[in-house]
Chains A and B, each alone.
Chain A
Amino acid sequence: MTVFLQTLVSGLLIGGIYALIGMGMTLIMGVMGIINLAHGQLMMVAMYITYAAYTFFHLDPYLALFVAMPGLFLLGCAIQKYLLNPLMDVETIIPQNQVLMTVGIAIVLTEVARFIFSSTYLSVRTGYSTKVFFLGGVSFNWPMTIAFLLAVALTVALFWFLLKTDLGRSIRAVAQDKEAAVLMGVNSRRITIITYGLGAGLVAAAGCLLIPIFYLFPDIGRPFTTKAFVITILGGMGSTVGAIFGGLTLGIAESLGATYIGMSYKEMVGLIIFLMVLIFLPGGLKRLTKV
Chain B
Amino acid sequence: MKRNQIINALLALVFLLFPLAVTSDYYRHLAILALMWVVIGGSWNLLAGYTGQISFGHAIFFGTGAYAAGILADKLGLSAWWGLALGGPAAVLMGLIIGFICFRLRGPYFALATIAAGEICRLIAVNWESMTNGMVGILLIQSFRSKVPYYYLALALAGASLLVFSRAMKSKWGFYFVSIREDQDAAESLGINASLYKNLSLAISAFFTGTTGAFYMNYMAFIDPEVVFSLPYISIMAILVAIIGGVATIWGPAVGAFIMVGIQETFRSAIFGLAPKWVSQSHALVFGLMVIFVILYLANGVVGDWPKIKRLLVRSPKTGDAAWLSLKRGKSERPSEG
Contacts and interface: CB of A to CB of B under 8 A. Distances in A.
Interface string A24-52: 00000000011101000000000000000
Contacts of B105: 278, 282
Interface string B327-338: 000110010000
Contacts, number: 128
Interface stretch (B14-22, B116-124, B151-159, B206-214): B116-124
A271 B248 contact: no
Interface string B99-117: 0011011011101110111
Nearest to B294: A104
A220 to B, nearest CB: 16
A181 B252 CA distance: 40
Nearest to B278: A115
Contacts of B304: 93
24 contacts: A86-B296, A87-B296, A93-B247, A94-B54, A94-B299, A97-B243, A100-B236, A100-B291, A101-B292, A101-B295, A101-B296, A104-B289, A104-B290, A105-B292, A107-B285, A107-B287, A107-B291, A108-B288, A110-B288, A229-B112, A233-B112, A268-B124, A282-B104, A282-B105
Q: Which of B105, B231, B282, B304 lies at the interface centre, i.e. has the most chain A CB atoms within 10 A of its CB?
A: B231
Interface of B: 48-49, 54, 56, 101-102, 104-105, 107-109, 111-113, 115-117, 119-120, 123-124, 126-127, 231-232, 236, 239, 243, 247-248, 281-282, 284-285, 287-292, 295-296, 299-300, 304, 330-331, 334
Most chain B CB within 10 A, of A92, A268, A278, is at A92
Contact of A275 (B113, B288, B330): B113
Given A99-B111, A104-B295, A93 B334 contact: yes
Given A92-B247, A93-B49, A95-B108, A103 B232 contact: yes
A94 to B, nearest CB: 6
B334 A278 contact: no
Contacts of A101: 291-292, 295-296
B127 A268 contact: yes
Interface of A: 33-35, 37, 83, 86-87, 90-97, 99-101, 103-108, 110-112, 114-115, 226, 229-230, 233, 264-265, 267-268, 271-272, 274-275, 278-279, 282
Nearest to A226: B119
A229 B49 CA distance: 25
Contacts of A233: 112
A274 B116 contact: yes
Contacts of A100: 236, 239, 243, 291, 295
A89 to B, nearest CB: 10
Contacts of A96: 54, 108, 111
A282 B287 CA distance: 34
What 5 A-B pairs come out closest when comparing CB atoms?
A104-B291, A107-B288, A111-B285, A108-B288, A104-B292
Given A264-B127, A267-B123, A271-B123, A108 B292 contact: yes
Nearest to A104: B291
Nearest to B102: A278
Contact of B243 (A87, A94, A264, A279): A94
